[in-house]
Amino acid sequence: MKMNMYVRFAMHHKWIEGYYIEREIWDHEIIYIEEGSMRITIEDIEHIVKEGDVVLLRPHVPHKIEWNGEDCKQPHVHFDFIERGDSNNVGVSLKTSAQMSREDIARFRDDYLEKNNIEIPFVFHLKQPKIIRTLLFKIIDEYEYGFYESSMILKGLLMQLYAHILRDYKLTVNEIENKDRDLIEFIVSYMVENMDNSISLDELVYYSKLDKWTLNQIFKKVYNLTPMKYYNSLRINRARNLVMYSGLNIKQITYLMKFDSPQTFSRWFKRNDGKHPSSYKR
């Protein structure tokens, strides 16, 4: 697995009232929550991150960061997993892709984690936060005050930081897979029984007795999908089978599956399946 890491930017930072960012970054970023809390929405899933949590942001992934009622110390580092010829010239993005020029779009790196099939969530709570904090602080100090061979030292520190984050996550996964698999199976059974009822994440939270963050993380560890994405895949398979084999027309299927109109159902179907439901009827 090729890796030649490059530290682009590293700093201590405090998120205070009034701060707000909505963007897609060009590179990768590790944020450690040292103190307080912060609201981060990634791919439409809201996370309230607190002391001891780590956030791993990836290229081209829409996210927004907001104040959550208290100041938040959140040291962070932007980096490339593989140094490129333009690594030194690419800054830190504060824009969404819709706001970017062609030159901006060309700055996006590949998602190293996805490309190498490394399964790790955007947010999780650390079992050994002191190690992560120490390494991140060393990176920030070296970035700000380093002298001879600073780039080589930064590469080594960043590789250690990344390796310790992976180790910490794998320790967490092993615990969760044993403890919570029965709960996830119950949630999946509930989804299957309610494929025609358009259940919400709040409903799953209520029945699981977990908060949204924990439910999403546990579910992704088992199925590599958020619960709502998994449920949506069940729903689209159900809809496709109804269209192809039930003999019901589109209007009947629309109301059976609790959509408010055939137009809404058709748009949802095409967005998730790639084809209009009427194409299966033909």
| 61-114 pLDDT per residue, tens | 999 999 999 999 999 999 999 999 999 999 999 999 999 999 999 999 999 999
How far apart CA 20 and CA 37 sit, in angstroms, is 14
Tokens linked to 113: 């984690």
The per-residue pLDDT for range 37-70, each reduced to its tens digit, is 999 999 888 999 999 999 999 999 999 999 999 9
Q: Which residues contact 61 (CB under 8 A, 6 or more apart)?
A: 24, 25, 42, 43, 111, 122
How far is Cα 185 from Cα 193, in angstroms, rounded to an integer?
Answer: 12
As a whole number of Å, the end-to-end CA separation of the chain is 47
The pTM is what?
0.65
- Dump strand ranges (E) for the chain: 6-11, 14-15, 20-23, 28-32, 37-42, 45-50, 53-57, 63-67, 72-73, 76-80, 123-125
Domains contained in the chain, CATH given? 6-174 (2.60.120.280), 194-281 (1.10.10.60)
pLDDT digit string (tens) for the chain, length 282 residues? 678 999 999 999 999 999 999 999 999 999 999 999 999 999 888 999 999 999 999 999 999 999 999 999 999 999 999 999 999 999 999 999 999 999 999 999 999 999 998 989 999 999 889 999 999 999 999 999 988 889 999 999 999 999 999 988 987 776 666 667 778 878 888 888 888 888 999 999 998 888 888 888 888 877 778 899 999 988 988 888 888 878 889 999 999 999 999 999 999 999 988 888 888 766
